[in-house]
């Protein structure tokens, strides 16, 4: 169950980035569950990682390797998170990096590991190592769609985005894939996201773009309010296009930023549309806030309310649940007599209560839609924020109750 068609785009190959896919049988025999990114020498990578203090071993090791050497390979496995595994987890993640490095002829510090799946189980190292020759032998620049499927866990469909833009007569390509459907309230990026461009981007500008775009996209989505132990998102710049290096002062930076932002947002929205058991794609827009955190507090309180989320699933225009969530969001000195709450273009709340022109029929018409906007104008300032979420259905409980079976 998911919202919208969910078809993958035509992926444009990114020069200097090749992908390989293999089956290690980590959770299900025959399933493609290993993905390898091979990066051209000179590629630059910026990473964002979970702030969950029980972060997984591959997160810790990727941070360490990024600080030491320019990455040449990314190694992703699904079916096992290698989180909550203590010292053994670090040894296992490093063993996988060493095995790939040996086969590829690079150093282990040039390999970044990523894992997703069940927490608390030892990583099946030998299964992963045994699958590496298949992944390395099959690398190519046109395997983005297969890689999108290869990083899925409880996802019902693969997620990808691709764009091209002209920078001063030079064509730049951006392609990316992501995965995630549950345990999603990223506090940095998404569960897993990989975005690549063939532009040559200065290291400081690359990290700034990764942070800024991650904040505007993956850090504005929530399925269930849970931040994963394994969240990771990388922005890769292979530098293989024929144009000049993009720096903070480059006149082409705004154009490149917009192309990257389009891909980031598409990937983030795809996660919400495929939220576990989701039947609604919900935009929550808070305006008139006095500060950014105030706007986010209101938006996330509404998004995380089980009562709001179940009403959305039922297509029940029970607007009192939204009102109650706004009221408990912790905004100091909130003037409830002047704020307004809308469902689509229908005003629900005005003057401290139900809007005089509201009707159940109009509210119900909006609630019947697959894509819904909840807009809240606090009338306290000029700050606004937007986040994206989904509803809670019976299937969310079933999926998570059966996750390990």
Q: For residue 6, which phi and psi values (nearest 5 degrees)? A: 70, 25
CA distance 131 to 147: 15
Structure tokens of 170?
A: 């030079």
User: Looking at domain 17-273, which of 3.40.30.10, 3.60.70.12, 3.50.30.30, 3.40.50.2300 is its CATH number?
Assistant: 3.60.70.12
Question: Is residue 372 within 8 Å of 343, Cβ to Cβ?
Answer: yes
Non-local CB neighbours of 269 within 8 Å, separated by 6+ positions: 221, 281, 388
Non-local CB neighbours of 402 within 8 Å, separated by 6+ positions: none
CATH number of 281-401: 3.10.20.340
CA distance 389 to 282: 5
pLDDT for 6: 86
Strands 353-354 and 346-350: antiparallel
pLDDT for 227: 85
Q: Is 190 a catalytic residue?
A: yes
pLDDT for 98: 98
Q: Which residues of the chain have pLDDT under 50?
A: none
* Element holding 297 (H helix, E strand): helix 292-304
CA distance 367 to 280: 9
Structure tokens of 23?
A: 């089956």
pLDDT for 182: 87
E-strand stretches of 23-84: 34-39, 44-49, 73-80
Q: For residue 208, which phi and psi values (nearest 5 degrees)? A: -65, -40
Structure tokens of 261?
A: 């932002």
Give the chain's largest Cα–Cα span. 71
- Domain parsing of the chain, residue ranges: 17-273, 281-401
| pLDDT tens readout for residues 294-330 | 999 999 999 999 999 999 999 999 999 999 999 999 9
pLDDT for 189: 62
Catalytic site residue from 78, 154, 173, 190? 190
**Cα torsion for 80, 11, 72, 201, to the nearest 10°?**
-120
Residue 33: name the closest of 103, 166, 130, 105 by CA.
130
């Amino acid at each position: 169950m998911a919202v919208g068609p969910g078809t993958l785009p035509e992926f444009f190959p990114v020069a200097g980035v090749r992908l390989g896919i293999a089956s290690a049988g980590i959770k299900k025999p025959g399933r493609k569950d290993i993905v390898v990114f091979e990066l051209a020498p000179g590629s630059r990578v910026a990473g964002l990682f979970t702030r969950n203090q029980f972060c997984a071993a591959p997160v810790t090791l990727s941070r360490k390797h990024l600080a030491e050497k320019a990455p040449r390979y990314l190694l992703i496995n699904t079916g096992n998170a290698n989180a909550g595994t203590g010292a053994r987890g670090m040894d296992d993640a490093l063993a996988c990096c060493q095995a790939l490095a040996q086969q590829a002829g690079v150093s282990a510090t040039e390999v970044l590991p990523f894992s997703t799946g069940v927490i608390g189980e030892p990583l099946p190292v030998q299964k992963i190592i045994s699958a590496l020759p298949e992944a390395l032998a099959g690398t190519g620049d046109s395997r983005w769609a297969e890689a999108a499927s290869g990083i899925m866990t409880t996802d019902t469909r693969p997620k990808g985005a691709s764009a091209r833009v002209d920078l001063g007569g030079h064509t730049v390509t951006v392609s990316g894939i992501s995965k995630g459907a549950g345990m999603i309230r990223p506090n940095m990026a998404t569960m897993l996201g990989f975005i690549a461009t063939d532009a040559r981007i200065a290291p400081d500008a690359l990290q700034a773009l990764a942070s800024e775009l991650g904040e505007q996209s993956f850090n504005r989505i929530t399925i269930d309010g849970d931040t994963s132990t394994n969240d990771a998102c990388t922005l890769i710049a292979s530098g293989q296009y024929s144009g000049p290096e993009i720096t903070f002062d480059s006149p082409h930076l705004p154009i490149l930023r917009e192309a990257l932002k389009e891909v980031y947002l598409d990937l983030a929205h795809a996660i919400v549309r495929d939220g576990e058991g989701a039947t609604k794609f919900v935009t929550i827009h808070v305006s008139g806030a006095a500060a950014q955190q105030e706007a986010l507090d209101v938006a996330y309180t509404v998004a995380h309310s089980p009562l709001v989320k179940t009403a959305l699933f039922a297509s029940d225009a029970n607007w009192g649940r939204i009102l109650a969530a706004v009221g408990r969001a912790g905004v100091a000195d909130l003037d409830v007599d002047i704020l307004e709450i809308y469902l689509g273009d229908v005003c629900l709340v005005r003057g401290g209560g139900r809007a005089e022109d509201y009707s159940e029929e109009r509210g119900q018409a909006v609630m019947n839609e697959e894509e819904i906007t909840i807009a809240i104008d606090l009338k306290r300032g000029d700050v606004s924020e937007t986040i994206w979420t989904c509803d809670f259905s019976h299937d969310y409980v079933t999926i998570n109750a059966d996750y390990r079976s």
